[in-house]
Chains A and B, each alone.
Chain A
Amino acid sequence: MNRFLIVFTLLSMLLVSCGGQPSESSLVYGLTLTPSGIDPHVDASSELGIPLTSVYDPLVWLTPEGEFVAGLAEEWEISDDGLTVTFHLRDDVTFHDGTPFNAAAVEFSLDRIADPATRSLKARGMLGPYDRTEIVDDYTVRVHFTEPYAPFLTSLSTVYLAMVSPDAVSQWGAEYQFHQVGTGPFMFDEYVPRDHLTLVRNPDYDWAPDFFDRQGPPELERVTFRFYPDVATRALALQSGEADVMGEVSPQDAVRLDQSPDYALTPVSIPGQPLQFFVNTQRPPLDDVRVRRALIYAVDRQAIVRTVFKEYSLPAYGPLTRPTFGYDPRVEGMYEYDPQRAAALLEEAGWIDADGDGIRQQDGVPLRLETILMGWGYIPEVGQMLQDQLRRVGMDMDSREMTFSNAVSDVADGRYHLAPFVFSSSDPDIIRTTFQSDNIDGGFNWSKFADPQLDAWLDEGRRAIDPEARRAIYGEIQHHLMEQAVILPIRDYVNLNVAGAHVRNLRYDRQGWFPWLYEVSLAEE
């Protein structure tokens, strides 16, 4: 009897799900990696921001054109000394759980990030020299810094500095990542790690910024995120109709899907640092700037991009990508592909192929570069092309693919000449992480480049509140880093997102990673 009941129930459920149901406006979005944690104040992955950007509203929005416009804060003033920023908040916003959004919520959110107990991996760094938040009145806050911090508004526009519901955080504590509550157009519904994450429409949403082409609640009723860590399965999931949108398909698949009228490809350039190989400037022969320059001249970045990344990526020429604030196009002419020049520089530095085996030597030591490779982002493929191209100018390259943790320990021991990495970031201040001399030991200064002038510029760039002055400083920095040839830039990082043609109005924010699902609608089929 019991068994019969179960079968009957299952059957009826099946029937209901087949027919009857009103056509719900629902979207499936393919994510590339299953994040280890998804609390934006705590965790660091870019993937977490793809769903959560729709759960939270920022205090200030950064428009696609790079302007700051009102979000949860209607207006703001930066003090002349750059040490305080005063925000006047909207008074008509409520969190998904009914908690009113006010000055206390801002203070709570920023203090939560700054609290060492939160163990923030990313947000704390983005908050810079934060001191405290002062509540002026219910809808006015003043944020204090210990020194001027230019990237603050950019940081605030990202999901990592999200305004969270104080009630929800106190209720759930460490479990908050599974029960997130913001003020955004979508409400967090459910997160089952490694399986799916679901958002549902916030019917009360009525505070969208003006630059969106709609107001009120979003059109989509439900968005489900599923995980496709294996790149070979992504295009398949899209073509089988399992997913409506897919992040980061392979360039080869992108070419194929781009030719089909059933799919729309959105390549998005990511601000921050390009795919680059850090050049270990402390290890011979790369302590000689001539050898470092020869290395860059010897690499045909156009060919690498054409072969591996296809027409969607641009070759990188400096430490910042094109959409990054402060990008200086002057670096583009600095190292055109020129193998003859590379060979001449190597000869000048005393590297000559005396025994005719195709590899140059000096005092009997062959010119060989030990290279760390990592298994993502087509780094192994790039590595093979580098090997081929460097050999053509008489440099031998020995490569080894390893996990991130092994790479970190090899870097700590100095056992490498070249090591790759990509940092995406909303602000050029990211290059402090990779080039400030403090970060040589245990940090990400994998070029092991120490330069007091550069350190001073990096500090100055972080403090300069005036955008034009800031741009000038970062221009100097980029030029200087390339003159010293401390990195081998390869390509600007581009995410190849593909959506079915029925998905309308899919745009990405200026960070490139995060879709504005609020605007998305689905065409009738």
Chain B
Amino acid sequence: MIGGRFSIAGLVGAVVLASIVVGTLLAPWLAPYDPLAMDYQSQFLPPSLTHPFGTDLFGRDVFSRVLFGARTSLSVGVLAALLAALPGLVVGLMSGYYGGWLDHVVMRTTDLVLSFPSLILALGIVAILRPGLVNVTLAVGLAGIPAYVRLVRSSVLTVKQELYIEAAHAIGCRDPRIVLRHVFPNIAASVLVLATMDIAWAILRATSLSFLGLGAQPPTPEWGTMIDEGREFLRLAPWVSLAPSSVMMLAVLSLNLVGDALRDALDPRTGSE
């Protein structure tokens, strides 16, 4: 379905993303060291053949930690995006399709949530739920719901005007059937695009929270906590922070490239000519 309309940037993004995902899946076989194993004698070794990304304060291998950290960070990103997308999709569909007082309540609520800086919102949620990876996933997910609701609702409003919906009504289709068979397939593309971008966003948010000490707890390797751990030694051992930051940057960039390419490929309205 994507075919020849996929741009070069999108291809590059897809290749980078795929290699990061493969690296993540194969981490236990690819990692040269146990990501938790401390070796006090090897503190802050610079990158070399034995330690491609160097070692940290405790002599742990940064490369292995980045690989295993990708598992944590990527899965938090994907889970949080799902957690935002599913409820957002359901609520947005209902709100857009049925309209009326339900729409009113839903829209005012999302306005309220959207008017709040999302990082602060996520911070607040974690502060109430207490730090931890699960709660960070929840917080980032919850904070992401309103964006889906708005997108889905506005798409539904457009689709609702279409002749084929009217036709479906005319031949006596029930609402659930119309929503599932006629409305949803026509908005799925934009949800998919948003979700791709949202994974990138969720990774950034979750690593930010972990960077602040609210997410993954040591010694769990996670990009945000790794960047934080290296921050104090930036001048002495820059690789401790730089390695996870660079890989995270690549992951987020490639997700965005893929998202852009998907949008261009799927959405005829915004496509390049």
Are B43 and A307 within 8 A (Cβ)? Answer: yes
Are B233 and A252 within 8 A (Cβ)? Answer: yes
Are B131 and A232 within 8 A (Cβ)? Answer: no
Number of A-B contacts (CB under 8 A): 50
Tally of chain B residues near chain A (CB < 8 A): 19
Tell me which of A252, A306, A307, A383 contacts B232 (CB under 8 A).
Answer: A252
Q: How far is the CA of A263 from the CA of B219 in the complex (A)?
A: 35
Are A387 and B232 within 8 A (Cβ)? Answer: no
Are A375 and B213 within 8 A (Cβ)? Answer: yes
Provide the residues of chain A in CB contact with B236, threshold 8 Å.
252-253, 256
Provide the residues of chain B in CB contact with A303, threshold 8 Å.
40
Say if the beta carbon of B58 comes within 8 Å of chain A.
yes
Tell me which of A306, A384, A402 contacts B131 (CB under 8 A).
Answer: A402
Are A388 and B232 within 8 A (Cβ)? Answer: no
With A252-B233, A252-B236, A402-B131: A307-B218 Cβ-Cβ less than 8 Å: no
Say if the beta carbon of B253 comes within 8 Å of chain A.
no
Say if the beta carbon of B234 comes within 8 Å of chain A.
yes
Provide the residues of chain B in CB contact with A383, threshold 8 Å.
218
Provide the residues of chain B in CB contact with A387, threshold 8 Å.
218-219
Say if the beta carbon of B231 comes within 8 Å of chain A.
yes
Q: Which residue of A lies closest to B38 (CB)?
A: A388
Q: How far is the CA of A399 from the CA of B231 in the complex (A)?
A: 21
Q: In the complex, what's the smallest C-beta–C-beta distance from B139 to chain A, in angstroms? A: 16
Provide the residues of chain B in CB contact with A384, threshold 8 Å.
38, 58, 218-219
Tell me which of B40, B213, B231 contacts A232 (CB under 8 A).
Answer: B231
Q: Which residue of A lies closest to B231 (CB)?
A: A232
Mask, B38-57, CB within 8 Å of A = 1, is 10100100000000000001
Mask, A293-329, CB within 8 Å of B = 1, is 0000000000100111000000000000000000000
Provide the residues of chain B in CB contact with A399, threshold 8 Å.
217-218
Are B57 and A306 within 8 A (Cβ)? Answer: no
**Interface set, chain A 94-112, CB cutoff 8 A to B:** none
**Interface set, chain A 387-424, CB cutoff 8 A to B:** 387-388, 399-402, 406
Say if the beta carbon of A381 comes within 8 Å of chain B.
yes
Q: In the complex, what's the smallest C-beta–C-beta distance from A356 to chain B, in angstroms? A: 18
Say if the beta carbon of B192 comes within 8 Å of chain A.
no
Say if the beta carbon of A69 comes within 8 Å of chain B.
no
Q: Which residue of A lies closest to B234 (CB)?
A: A232
Interface of A: prevailing SS? helix
Provide the residues of chain A in CB contact with B218, threshold 8 Å.
380, 383-384, 387, 399, 401
Provide the residues of chain B in CB contact with A232, threshold 8 Å.
231-232, 234
Are B57 and A307 within 8 A (Cβ)? Answer: yes
Q: How far is the CA of A387 from the CA of B38 in the complex (A)?
A: 10
Provide the residues of chain A in CB contact with B219, threshold 8 Å.
384, 387-388
With A232-B232, A381-B57, A384-B58: A401-B217 Cβ-Cβ less than 8 Å: yes
Are B131 and A307 within 8 A (Cβ)? Answer: no
Q: How far is the CA of A460 from the CA of B234 in the complex (A)?
A: 50
Tell me which of A231, A388, A402 contacts B36 (CB under 8 A).
Answer: A388
Are A401 and B38 within 8 A (Cβ)? Answer: no
With A306-B40, A388-B58: A400-B217 Cβ-Cβ less than 8 Å: yes
Q: How far is the CA of A256 from the CA of B234 in the complex (A)?
A: 13
Are A250 and B232 within 8 A (Cβ)? Answer: yes
Q: Which residue of B lies closest to A300 (CB)?
A: B40
Say if the beta carbon of A385 comes within 8 Å of chain B.
yes
Provide the residues of chain B in CB contact with A231, threshold 8 Å.
232
With A232-B231, A252-B233, A384-B218: A308-B213 Cβ-Cβ less than 8 Å: no
Q: In the complex, what's the smallest C-beta–C-beta distance from B179 to chain A, in angstroms? A: 44
Q: How far is the CA of A306 from the CA of B38 in the complex (A)?
A: 14
With A307-B57, A385-B38: A400-B231 Cβ-Cβ less than 8 Å: no
Q: How far is the CA of A387 from the CA of B233 in the complex (A)?
A: 22
Q: In the complex, what's the smallest C-beta–C-beta distance from A389 to chain B, in angstroms? A: 9
Are B217 and A307 within 8 A (Cβ)? Answer: no
Q: Which residue of A lies closest to B44 (CB)?
A: A252
Q: In the complex, what's the smallest C-beta–C-beta distance from B153 to chain A, in angstroms? A: 38
Q: How far is the CA of A27 from the CA of B1 in the complex (A)?
A: 71
Provide the residues of chain A in CB contact with B213, threshold 8 Å.
375, 380, 401
Are A400 and B131 within 8 A (Cβ)? Answer: yes
Provide the residues of chain B in CB contact with A235, threshold 8 Å.
235
Are B131 and A385 within 8 A (Cβ)? Answer: no
Q: Which residue of B lies closest to A256 (CB)?
A: B236
Q: How far is the CA of A401 from the CA of B225 in the complex (A)?
A: 12
Q: In the complex, what's the smallest C-beta–C-beta distance from A394 to chain B, in angstroms? A: 16
Provide the residues of chain A in CB contact with B58, threshold 8 Å.
307, 381, 384-385, 388
Mask, B200-222, CB within 8 Å of A = 1, is 00000000000001000111000
Are A307 and B231 within 8 A (Cβ)? Answer: no
Provide the residues of chain B in CB contact with A381, threshold 8 Å.
57-58
Q: In the complex, what's the smallest C-beta–C-beta distance from A233 to chain B, in angstroms? A: 10
Q: How far is the CA of A341 from the CA of B52 in the complex (A)?
A: 38
Q: In the complex, what's the smallest C-beta–C-beta distance from B42 to chain A, in angstroms? A: 11
**Interface set, chain A 343-390, CB cutoff 8 A to B:** 375, 380-381, 383-385, 387-388
Name 19 extra pairs, CB < 8 A, besides A256-B236, A380-B218.
Answer: A231-B232, A232-B231, A232-B232, A235-B235, A250-B232, A253-B236, A306-B40, A307-B43, A384-B58, A384-B218, A385-B38, A385-B58, A387-B218, A388-B38, A399-B217, A400-B131, A400-B132, A400-B217, A406-B130
Q: Which residues of B contact A (CB under 8 A)?
A: 36, 38, 40, 43, 57-58, 130-132, 213, 217-219, 231-236
Q: Nearest 9 A-B pairs (CB), nearest first? A: A388-B38, A384-B218, A401-B213, A307-B40, A232-B232, A384-B219, A252-B236, A303-B40, A250-B232
Q: Which residues of A contact B (CB under 8 A)?
A: 231-232, 235, 250, 252-253, 256, 303, 306-308, 375, 380-381, 383-385, 387-388, 399-402, 406
24 A-B residue contacts at CB 8 Å? A250-B232, A252-B233, A256-B236, A303-B40, A306-B40, A307-B40, A307-B43, A307-B57, A307-B58, A381-B58, A384-B218, A384-B219, A385-B38, A385-B58, A387-B218, A387-B219, A388-B38, A388-B219, A400-B130, A400-B217, A401-B131, A402-B130, A402-B131, A406-B130
